[in-house]
Structure 1
């Protein structure tokens, strides 16, 4: 598909020939709405555009990135999986943000919750007493829920409770799934992949972990969607911040 691309200024030379697109041009080119493009940018899947004056311009690299996202979506991957495939990293929250404040309170006011999350490897307490997120991906939903009006400490408490309940389930499920995977490998294609045994074991372990994580994500998303009407705020009560 070809579109007329607005150029920046009247400069001569190679820079003037570089294609640049407004968000509307880009949306028509890739067959995606401007709203979706902005959503991908907010998730970190798409780099911010260059700004000249009050107008934002996108480049050919943005086009290629969006085409990659669309291709992966057509193959059935959700945005969380696409983030992992494309190497998107969510930075740890900066000082002063809600999560940092909550973690500081957690260390002094809720030691049992801190211990629970540290036991699962989600939080780490340094020698100086500061608390950091060892797994930012696990605590990111606490920030997201904060934007919906849920206090971060409440979300972290729920995270700890869910982890505690999932631990015995996974202790049973992981060995069973690993045994089943080994059985399927023996009855399928030859197991040898040309890798060293240690490398092959690491690939299998990581692959099994991702498979189980995505399987849980699917059933959790389905269940949450089915019960979404009962998750909204209750105007008759207000839960105090712990």
Structure 2
């Protein structure tokens, strides 16, 4: 589980330290864990903060947000409460963020690990800075970049590809989630909020979105890879096969 100081939490959620303190004072955020004089926040705080920010962006007042969360607490177990909070994404992450020392980044990317490429990786969220350290929120994504560089793809090109992939993935995810919102939530009206009795159903709807998106995208990418790789690389594979056939047999 990731840990954040208050400034890191605010930066990860795209808000300010002042706002975090305001939401905490309004009891929209749980108190942090104290380690001496340092306040430590976790993934649950980040997902709750993102939920609060999303609701504020949609025009809900502090009192409405608190009423909704309080109603959820009154009617359901702690596990259910966390289920609502984590519906923004924290509970669905199948990867644990990993600390990546600078020496490891140098080992992976060598002289291509320029200040410009590091800044680009930070801008894309492939790396995050935690004090003097770097953290990879998705170690698999970082490893994919490493594999591309090992295949002689320039790191700058791999980072440009990562930006394009993220943009396309966001677009497709938006299409999938938008269909559910259109037919499940929007017919209720823009100002609608579920009652205490309805909360379990609609929390379940939200909790099923991430597995649905993951399943659909994984299946689509697998089918695409099976089709596109031979289409793009087929001529090279044929040439290699022909070259291999031309080689004289080894003498016994």
Q: TM-score, normalised by structure 1?
A: 0.40
Q: Which is bigger in relative contact order (C-alpha 8 A, separation at least 6)? A: 2
Task: Name the structure with the higher helix share.
Answer: 2
